[in-house]
Structure 1
């Protein structure tokens, strides 16, 4: 009741992530890689994409971009660290099928295009296309809530609400 009347405590901060890809939301536990499925890389969810454009799920700074462009990290001004890992074991493609539109150090806005990927190439090469979106520094998270199930549209549908400590 107190929170309803007076809102969150002053130091609480809620941030919302939008879908980084168009596709179907699946629980992180269903990802084909145990590192993600067992939340060793962080908690979150995954999207099985139907389109190959990856957008920023939240505004922030690009803090990691693998040379192979299969994974990207964004850190928000609040210090939340997000990792988007496109497909499973796709590092083995050595960048083939991936194009990055940003570099480490770039400030990005929620919904801005980050990477494009040839999903057909990934599938034809035998790689799972499930794309985990995880919080890699869970120690700053007080509460995490999944906001969407089923199909989502990149840059539009809210997928996660994160309440920071």
Structure 2
């Protein structure tokens, strides 16, 4: 009991490897038809053009933000990296239609846990694009971001980003 109270605190890992949060085709951010993402205004990262409507956690961490419309989720990895997964473009106007969240703010998640499921056909019909940016939003506070070579990915399987804390 005392050991638990006064024992060593688990040290945060310096480097976190993020797996693909969706199944689909990896794109570079400059291919995203939205300047907020293509010009990296929110941060650097990658995008995935999904082939199925399921988003899983790319890292072990905590849900920092779940948008009320369920079209985007923010996760803080154990090394402090903050990742935003923004499903499709201009999906906020769908007001949550076709989206179902499986987590809430403050939820602890493990790599591969289901975060959000969505109706891919409905997003294709109602949104500007299904392309989903995965952004490191606090890159200025982190060390290095390495984008892994990946083209076709399966949710929770292939590694897509390696993020090192300073």
- TM-score, normalization: structure 1? 0.90
SS at match of 1:92: helix
Equivalent residue, structure 2, for 1:148: 149
Equivalent residue, structure 2, for 1:164: 165
Partners of 1:35 and 1:144 lie apart in 2 by: 19
Equivalent residue, structure 2, for 1:107: 108
Partners of 2:137 and 2:160 lie apart in 1 by: 17
Partners of 2:52 and 2:59 lie apart in 1 by: 19
Alpha-carbon distance change, 126 to 67 in structure 1, aligned in 2, over 3 angstroms = closer
Partners of 2:113 and 2:77 lie apart in 1 by: 14
Aligned length: 155
Alpha-carbon distance change, 93 to 17 in structure 1, aligned in 2, over 3 angstroms = same
User: Does 1:98 find its partner at 2:99?
Assistant: yes
Give the conservation status (yes or no) of the 8 Å contact 1:25–1:148: no
What is the RMSD computed on CA atoms of the aligned residues?
1.4
Give the conservation status (yes or no) of the 8 Å contact 1:148–1:160: no
Equivalent residue, structure 1, for 2:19: 18
Measured against aligned partners, the alpha-carbon deviations of 1:25-56 in whole angstroms (never above 9, x if no partner) come to 00011111100000001100000000101000
Give the conservation status (yes or no) of the 8 Å contact 2:120–2:130: yes
**1:11-160 equivalences in 2 (<5 Å):** 13-160=14-161
Partners of 1:122 and 1:129 lie apart in 2 by: 6
- How far 1:67 moved relative to its partner? 0.4
Partners of 2:13 and 2:55 lie apart in 1 by: 29
SS at match of 2:162: strand
Equivalent residue, structure 2, for 1:7: none
Q: Which runs of no fewer than 5 residues in structure 2 stay unpaired?
A: 1-11
Partners of 2:100 and 2:137 lie apart in 1 by: 23
Give the conservation status (yes or no) of the 8 Å contact 1:28–1:37: yes
Partners of 2:66 and 2:127 lie apart in 1 by: 23
